[in-house]
Amino acid sequence: MLKVLLNVFLLVLFSFLLPTESPAFKQIDWASINPSLKSAIPVNDTTECLDCHDDYIESFEKTKHAKAYRAIFGWSTPASCEACHGPLSNHLKEKDLDKKLDSVVSFKNISPEAKNSICMQCHEKGQSRNWMGSTHESAGVSCTNCHYVMTKRSKSKLFIKGDSIKVCFQCHRDKRAKMERASHMPLREGKMSCTGCHNPHGSFGPNLLQKATVNETCSDCHQDKRGPMLWEHAPVRENCSTCHDPHGSNFQSMLKRKPPYLCQQCHMDSFHPSSVYDGTQINAREAEIVGKSCINCHSMIHGSNHPSGARFQR
């Protein structure tokens, strides 16, 4: 009986895994992208493309897309040009070379919205589920601004350049400049990438962050700074970027300003001077504190669990 149930389970499972048909051209209105495709029909024979585009096919066969098409849908060739370029019947019939490009969807001649709609036929879930309405989508960014599907140019993700850092820095040059500062995230050293903190395809958090808040994103790595603490420092609880510039700074620990000037934005000198101590403010017995600042005493500035840690000194 158990064997029969197992066989039934496997049969049901495989029925969901097996493809019911080749990529559904019904999923997208090709005529809305290129009106000349209104009368076109799928050819379902990509070998026709080899007569003219054998150089593209040869490089495309080595990409993840080609391997996925072949493995999932069982097509006779690794590439299915019609999945991205629309039904090809009119294109194959057209004899005038000057008009051939007009009888197919060419990514050189369509809008970012059209390009993205083609990619979203398959990539509408996972990391891309929040693409619609995201910062990049609203700014008119297209998938092809970051990815190139016809040739393998990167080790992963089909980036148009070597990695996500080089791709992001094409537009975010202000962040690139900050990465050159003395204190910076270890992107230059290859220990992390932009996608460690950001999801370029959209997110529920601000600034395309992977997590819902800045603090949740930071605490993925900086778990020792994560609360709750017995004694909490308000700016730490609210937002790490109140004190830190996450992309780079010329001050220690990527602080926005050098202590004590950073601390003085909130703390007045009500109990003791809040400026850098110099020889005019101290006597000889206190000479060891010359040139030092708040965090020399208040070392647990991110919060403390010590019963006597109200002043973040322990």
pLDDT at position 17 is 44
From the list 33, 36, 55, the residue with the least C-alpha distance to 109 is: 33
Confidence (pLDDT) at 50: 80
Residues 6+ apart with CB under 8 A from 130: 199, 201, 202, 203, 204
Inter-residue contact 208 to 135 (CB < 8 Å): yes
Q: What is the pLDDT of residue 58?
A: 79
Q: Which residues fall within 8 angstroms of residue 70, CB to CB, at 6 or more apart?
A: 77, 78
- Read off the tokens for 216: 């949740």
Q: Check residue 44 and give its pLDDT.
A: 79
Per-residue pLDDT of the chain (314 residues), as tens digits, is 555 555 555 555 544 444 444 444 446 899 999 999 999 998 877 778 888 888 887 788 888 888 877 776 665 554 578 889 999 999 999 888 888 888 999 998 899 999 999 999 888 888 888 999 999 999 999 999 999 988 888 888 889 988 899 999 999 999 999 999 999 999 989 899 999 999 999 999 899 999 999 999 999 999 988 888 999 999 999 999 999 999 999 999 999 998 888 888 888 766 666 655 555 555 555 555 555 678 888 889 999 999 998 888 88
Residue of 194, 218, 205 lying closest to 130 (CA atoms): 205
